Structure 1
Amino acid sequence: MNYNYAQQPGIGNSKKKIGYTEAPLVSVITPFYNSAQHIDQTASSLFNQTFPYFEWIIVNDGSTSKVDVEKLAALADSDSRIVLHHQENGGPSEARNKAVELSSTEIIIPLDADDLLDPTYIECVYWSLYCNPQASWTYSDSLGFGNQEYLWKKNFDAQQMKTENLLTCTAGIRKKDFLEVGGYDVSESLHYEDWALWLKLLSKGKYPVHMGWYGFWYRKTDTGGLANTSRNADKHEHAMSIIKKLGKKVDTNVQAIEFPRFRGVNFEKPRKWEWSRNNIDLNNKTKMLMILPHLVMGGADLFNLDIVSRLNKDKFEVSVITTNPGDSTWRQRFEEHTNDIFDLTTFLDVKDWSAFIHYFIKTRKIDIVMVSNSYYGYYLIPWLKKEFPQLKIIDYVHMEEMGWRAGGYARTSAVVSDIIDKTYVCNDHLRELMIQTFNRKQSDVETLYIGVDIDEYNPAKYRKFSIKEELGISSERPVVLFPCRIAEQKRPFLMIAIAKEVIKKIPNIAFFVVGDGPQLEGIRHKIENEKLGDNVYLLGRQNDMKPFYRDSDLTLICSIREGLALTAYESLAMGVPVISSDVGGQKELVDDKVGRLLPFLQERTKFIDIEVSKEYSQNEINQYVEAIESLLRNNDQYNTISKNAREKIIAKFDKNNMIRTLEVELVNLLNNKFEDEEVHNLKSLSNLIDDYLTLYCEFLQREADLEWIWNERNRYNLDIRSNDLNNVNNNSITEAASLLELQKIYNMRSWKIIVKYQDFMDNSRIGLLLSKLRNFILKFK
């Protein structure tokens, strides 16, 4: 993951406008000794928290710098949540213990005066502990910044904790557990006090929650206590002797709650939390919550980012909740425009998601919910509308997927169409499909083209031949660009077949393959086997595509399916003609005036949009070859088409026009009064609506189980093939095998009998007696 370490929390202050008179729920504790250098940024990272119900207890541990003390006093006067205590110097551990003593809440967050918290950190800490009442502390992954930059993400392991501190020094700790183990050790002045605290908690059998996102920023300096101890051999040896002693008492069977995980209660209905505090934000903007799958690189995600970044910030405030696990590689790009970003998979079980979303809508006074590509979001819609009758709910569908779940998100959108206020789609082809196939009302579905930023994607702004110079190839060589995820949907093996034939006619042609994906290695081997390495260049994923368009003559899109490809918009805006398969809404953008639109000829399965094989008819290959050759051979024709391409984008597909259209739509939506009859109907079906979400949760649990089993089997097979049997985790294999058997049982007709038998043996009085008798007999076998 490419991380921008310069994009730090606490740069700028977006302090929430609410009253702070209510009792705090969390205590942030900070030892302070002549450490004012970075305190303002630390303070801003706290003031920018999405969860303002905290107190900040700062213990001035006998600072000798008058300037630092005066700065600290001024900081304390700036916010009523700050409690400042002065004492003679006793060291950071003693200062932290004193702060805990002064605290008024049950959750403690140690934070040094130069470290930083992500804006959502305290909110995630509070709710992860609330939902896991038996856990003693919760922590996130962390980033090192300053003198050293790194990402710290380690799975919890109690055994490994005896020799390596896998955790971070900042966490949310239950005060009762902190006090039970005696807090930070003050008997030793130089040691690894946070590591020692975790070991003391583990020795009591207490366990943490590991939140799976980067929430804590640890400043690396040359003068900090950790640096001083670790660099000095004698100090380090002494500190490690303390750790070794504590490690002997650790219960190595302790396991953390590791997120993301999917371990829900079967058929758990949506729930909500009681919450009566003031709203978190009191401004009068229209507030929209986007429920999305993830924040990663892609056309749909760029559309979401455009909404977050381009809506008029004087009128709209956008928050984001995501529901699919994975590395949110674009999270920082979204964080440039909103602090309210929550990946539910990283700190809550699925059974708690509905409660968090309910709480979020209530505390932020959300006016509009927008769902896109999130199955959980779709299945939650009826319940949300029942709970919040005046809430406006819209969705955006990007693609027809008749071969996936009988219509993909288009079908799911249609199922809840009587509850959704408006559906937006990326092209007219998809709109017509939803009306004709899924019986949507014409007035309820509207096309909103994604478009492209015509100022950003302007060829006049970029120097030509920069990529060719990097690759050391002639500026005269014609280039076909293949920009996409290297996956089956995009048919990269067809691209290779096309390239092979084109090279015979235009030997100096180059194909730039930009992207990565599951078929990348297969494509690499194919290029080697076909000896195409001098013509086909695998250039990997790129954050900035504009130089690649600038150096290309044509863009090739030969996909099985598309909505309306973002790469087609971008390419045409840069004056690069597009050759595309006639799938989805491509015909609404690509025609003979701006490129070539070619029929889809390959056989595909009836119900799943995958290639039956990687064999392509010569007719399909030839039509692409002919299109490429004809466009590149005729300069006059090419120049006309190139000019047409950009003009077409400017005339109809400017992204800024899309945003202004959406803003008008949102305002009109809020002016439409909700129908009392509709709400009455929902409330009359309360039990059905409450149960509706459980269907998806059950499916999600099964999907997670199968994915875990698949990964375990794959890892086991890789170990076998590499003959590295020492790496094979026998417990994991056994568990995977057990789960495989479990899946077989789920599909048996006798499963219900098995369940009834298990319930009888485990829960009935007679069953329990029989179980004891069975176990007694087995002892003597």
Structure 2
Amino acid sequence: MPRVSVIIPAYNAAATIAGTLDSVIGQTFQDFEIICVDDGSTDRTRAIVEQYARDCGDRVKLVEQANSGPAAGRNNGARHSTGEYLAFLDADDVWTAPMLERTVAVLDADPLLSLVYCNAALADSEGVALDTSLVGKGFDHPPSIHELLTRLWPIMPSAALVRRSGYEKCGGYRDELRGASFRFEDVDFWIKMREQGPFGYIAEPLVIWRFAWFPKQLKRLPDYSKALHVFEAYLQERYGVSAAPLVNARTRAPRSILATIGLKALRDGDRRRARAAFARAIRVDPYRFKNYLRWMRTFLPDRLAQNLSGKSSRRARSGGAYQE
């Protein structure tokens, strides 16, 4: 029986799934199994995973389901798994080689922890590094339940290792929280897992999280317009708090990362990429006046534009792009 079950839900992930699988196979910690859940893909995702299963034997398993969303895929993968610890890796992200070794050691050392998570380095949809990390100042510690209920905490599914006993006790991911109009199943899951015990945090970015909406769009940008109505009733009933801060922060997150991409491009002298990133940020949030100013900055002379972007770019490189 493997110590860790790595569960990878995949929907039309042919462009990225091989890199994701390679990053797991190349781990310094090797006591794991991989369960890849094909969520009704219509591209070559299934064929690619089948080839890995042939090459790796029983270590890689393919599970198929009708398109049901990532929450259902993670739960389905967990049902087919046997590991003491569960890792839910998205099919467009990659781990650095010591990811499992470092996170397993933390859970082994403290049986009270329900999960451990790490910081994440950001890359664009083509895998180009953005020279920044996800977790910024003020978020660089394991959250309390109050913090999870009142602030959108920068934990990515790909960055966490979960104790199976806690996963089973809390009921796993809520399958009904699915679809592009919601996508709050991860926030809900962190809250439920925090009820099972404290979290551990590793400041080192051991995962590369791919921003799937720039420059190429690998996924449909979620529409959170219905999220407040659905999540509000749940949080009010269970915890007596409003979902508005979490929903608003999640809505702002893509805009913030696009701004980070644009500022880096402007600092590097790539006006075309900067202009495209700021333009996309404006489409995501047309009421964010600062991004109009940034977009106009791309028409200034190079030196002036770079000087004006220097302070913002340095702040972005220090981390916290998710909270820009």
- Output the TM-score relative to the length of structure 1: 0.27
Q: Matches of 2:233 and 2:193 in 1, distance apart?
A: 15
Task: Tell me which residue corresponds to 2:293.
Answer: none
2:154 maps to 1:166: yes
Q: Matches of 1:169 and 1:104 in 2, distance apart?
A: 19
2:81 maps to 1:70: no
Conserved in 2, the CA contact under 8 Å of 1:169 and 1:195? no
Which residue of 211, 231, 239 maps to 1:220? 211
Give the partner amino acid of 1:28: V
Conserved in 2, the CA contact under 8 Å of 1:200 and 1:246? no
Q: Matches of 2:218 and 2:71 in 1, distance apart?
A: 14
Conserved in 2, the CA contact under 8 Å of 1:137 and 1:209? yes
2:104 maps to 1:122: no
Distance 1:108 1:224, change over 3 A: farther
Q: Matches of 2:236 and 2:19 in 1, distance apart?
A: 37
Give the partner amino acid of 2:164: K
- Deviation string 1:709-736 (CA, Å, 9 cap, x unpaired) is xxxxxxxxxxxxxxxxxxxxxxxxxxxx
Distance 1:40 1:208, change over 3 A: same
Give the partner amino acid of 1:71: I
Q: Matches of 2:15 and 2:87 in 1, distance apart?
A: 21
Deviation, 1:218, is 0.8
Conserved in 2, the CA contact under 8 Å of 1:191 and 1:239? no
Partner-residue secondary structure (3-state), 1:78: helix
Give the partner amino acid of 1:55: E
Give the partner amino acid of 2:46: V
Distance 1:24 1:164, change over 3 A: same
Give the partner amino acid of 1:128: V
- Deviation string 1:575-616 (CA, Å, 9 cap, x unpaired) is xxxxxxxxxxxxxxxxxxxxxxxxxxxxxxxxxxxxxxxxxx
Partner-residue secondary structure (3-state), 1:217: strand
Conserved in 1, the CA contact under 8 Å of 2:27 and 2:96? yes
- Number of aligned pairs? 224
Task: Tell me which residue corresponds to 1:51.
Answer: 29
Deviation, 1:233, is 4.7
Give the partner amino acid of 1:127: A
Mapping of residues 331-346 of structure 1, within 5 Å: none
Gaps (5+ residues) in structure 2? 242-302, 304-324
Deviation, 1:118, is 1.1
Q: Matches of 1:63 and 1:94 in 2, distance apart?
A: 14
Task: Tell me which residue corresponds to 1:191.
Answer: 183
Deviation, 1:102, is 0.8
Conserved in 2, the CA contact under 8 Å of 1:137 and 1:172? yes
Distance 1:160 1:103, change over 3 A: same
Percent identical pairs in the alignment equals: 25
Of structures 1 and 2, the one scoring higher in RCO (CA 8 A, sep 6+) is: 2
Distance 1:233 1:44, change over 3 A: closer
2:166 maps to 1:177: yes
Partner-residue secondary structure (3-state), 2:38: strand
Distance 1:224 1:181, change over 3 A: farther
Partner-residue secondary structure (3-state), 2:117: strand
Partner-residue secondary structure (3-state), 2:24: helix
Give the partner amino acid of 2:221: N
Q: Matches of 1:180 and 1:68 in 2, distance apart?
A: 32
Which residue of 138, 148, 151 maps to 2:133? 151
Distance 1:180 1:52, change over 3 A: same
- Output the TM-score relative to the length of structure 2: 0.63
Please provide the CA RMSD for this pair. 2.4
Q: Matches of 2:169 and 2:229 in 1, distance apart?
A: 25
2:74 maps to 1:92: no
Distance 1:177 1:224, change over 3 A: farther
Gaps (5+ residues) in structure 1? 1-22, 251-469, 471-781
Mapping of residues 395-544 of structure 1, within 5 Å: none
Distance 1:64 1:135, change over 3 A: same
Q: Which one has the largest radius of gyration?
A: 1
